[in-house]
Amino acid sequence: MPAQPVMRNNGSLRIAVVGGGIIGLSAALEMRARGADVAVYESGIQLGAGVTVRAAGMLGSAFDWALEADQRSLAALARHAGMLWPDFAARIERMGGGGVEFSKEGAIVVARSDAEIGWLETLAAACQARDLPVRRMSAADLKRDEPALTGGAKAALMLPEDRQVDAQIVLQRLGAALSRAGVGFKYGRKVERIVGGQVFQMPDGERFDRVVLATGSGPLPAFFGPRGAPLEHGLIEMIPVKGQMLALAPVGGGPQHVIHARDVYIAPKSRWVLVGATSERGRADTEVEPASVAALRTRAAALVPALADAPEVTAWAGVRPGTPDDAPMIGQTAIPGVFAALGHYRNGVLFAPATAELVADQVIDGKVSPLAGAFDPLRFDKQAEAAHSALQRD
């Protein structure tokens, strides 16, 4: 006989979130706010084992997505997330006991050659077509607003709504906010196996009504029915995309804004200046390679000469959770009651508040908003099935 749903005395829905990165914690915060009883299972012995703390924290709604003409749903998600961030940051700061370095400065995109000016113009036109705020910067604007950029910028754009946060601090504040809100943390728990039916039993014996998978590029748990038969969740494995990043000490004359060029970005925080990043599809290791880090510094110093001699604080590599179409997987899996919040690729920090909202809508309220439709976690399975049936018909 299938087990009956477990309800606590107060009748709250019990939800297990597997994964304590920014996506899992943001979803946990939103579901808790909507009355659920939430626990977070994190495989590390504390927060920060995954890719969140290796992110540059840029909220690039316009820069990252304006040019992706075939990714309308992603652009809409990015825009929505960008609009949610000011309130989300304020909420985390209020509940988490301190600031997250949410910067209202905007990002500058620079071109250094005629070919890059063409790219910049295309970006400006795409932003205008999508009603995303964008402003051309003259040489005088640049000199006044970002005097650090003396390395041959021939043209520049300001994207005033592409902001940034310190992702490491965000994760800490989210953790504090959740603890204060009564969310339980289970650290050092690799969730390899979940037994499901109408309720889900975790390896530690705890039982939940719903499970949210937010495991980043880590392995997904295996699911089994009450009698031990495997249950298929229908999710694909993530595609690892390694990114190496360099952290330089802040120096006099350093940049004040996020700066993007075609081959590098610079994200200044109060404690360091992040320079990123490589994009190595298919690589899941976190080895830092001196040649890659040196190349990042050379590119950054070509734009901002003041960074040429900035002491290196540290360098790291993270693994972005990619998907075949670069879009996240948000929604119910093939196992009723098990939901995905996966595949946020280069934009986990940006998308976090929007994904949290879409996950809570589905898990708590049973609603799939039009925005979530494009991110059905089973779409790859369905595409494979459709291709298979087409072959059969041939």
Determine contact, residues 197/226, Cβ cutoff 8 Å.
yes
Residue 47 token pair: 């927060």
Secondary structure class of 236 (helix, strand, coil): coil
Whole-number minimum distance, CB 57 to ligand GLY, in Å? 9
Does 62 help bind ligand GLY (rule: CB under 6 A)? no
Whole-number minimum distance, CB 224 to ligand GLY, in Å? 35
Phi, psi of 325 (to 5 degrees): -110, 15
Whole-number minimum distance, CB 245 to ligand GLY, in Å? 7
Whole-number minimum distance, CB 226 to ligand GLY, in Å? 41
Subset of residues 230 to 259 that bind ligand GLY, contact rule: CB under 6 A? 243
Give CA–CA dist 322/283, Å, rounded: 11
Q: How many residues bind ligand GLY (CB under 6 A)?
A: 7
For ligand GLY, which is the closer residue by CB, 167 or 214?
A: 167
Virtual CA dihedral for 362, 96, 213, 45, nearest 10 degrees?
A: -160
For ligand GLY, which is the closer residue by CB, 221 or 348?
A: 348
For ligand GLY, which is the closer residue by CB, 183 or 259?
A: 259
Does 299 help bind ligand GLY (rule: CB under 6 A)? no
Whole-number minimum distance, CB 289 to ligand GLY, in Å? 16
Residue 172 token pair: 């800490």
Cα distances (Å, whole numbers) of residue 1 to 195, 198, 199, 205, 235 = 14, 10, 12, 19, 27
Give CA–CA dist 181/40, Å, rounded: 13
Subset of residues 166 to 185 that bind ligand GLY, contact rule: CB under 6 A? none
For ligand GLY, which is the closer residue by CB, 40 or 277?
A: 277
Give CA–CA dist 138/157, Å, rounded: 9
Determine contact, residues 359/339, Cβ cutoff 8 Å.
yes
Does 276 help bind ligand GLY (rule: CB under 6 A)? yes
Does 346 help bind ligand GLY (rule: CB under 6 A)? yes
* DSSP secondary structure letters along 278-289: --EET-------
For ligand GLY, which is the closer residue by CB, 111 or 349?
A: 349
Determine contact, residues 374/343, Cβ cutoff 8 Å.
no
Whole-number minimum distance, CB 103 to ligand GLY, in Å? 15
For ligand GLY, which is the closer residue by CB, 88 or 351?
A: 351
For 178: left if phi > 0, alpha if psi spans -120 to 50, otherwise beta; the answer is alpha
Does 320 help bind ligand GLY (rule: CB under 6 A)? yes
For ligand GLY, which is the closer residue by CB, 130 or 346?
A: 346
Determine contact, residues 56/348, Cβ cutoff 8 Å.
no
Whole-number minimum distance, CB 120 to ligand GLY, in Å? 19
Give the pairing of strands 37-42 and 184-187. parallel
Cα distances (Å, whole numbers) of residue 50 to 204, 310, 318 = 22, 27, 8
Whole-number minimum distance, CB 100 to ligand GLY, in Å? 17
Give CA–CA dist 325/263, Å, rounded: 22
Give CA–CA dist 60/345, Å, rounded: 13
For ligand GLY, which is the closer residue by CB, 164 or 332?
A: 164
Give CA–CA dist 28/253, Å, rounded: 41
Whole-number minimum distance, CB 105 to ligand GLY, in Å? 17
Whole-number minimum distance, CB 202 to ligand GLY, in Å? 31
Determine contact, residues 243/280, Cβ cutoff 8 Å.
yes
Q: Which residue is nearest to ligand GLY (CB)?
A: 346
For ligand GLY, which is the closer residue by CB, 37 or 162?
A: 162
What type of residue sits at position 102? F
For ligand GLY, which is the closer residue by CB, 157 or 202?
A: 157
**Residue ranges that bind ligand GLY, judged by CB under 6 A:** 56, 58, 243, 276-277, 320, 346
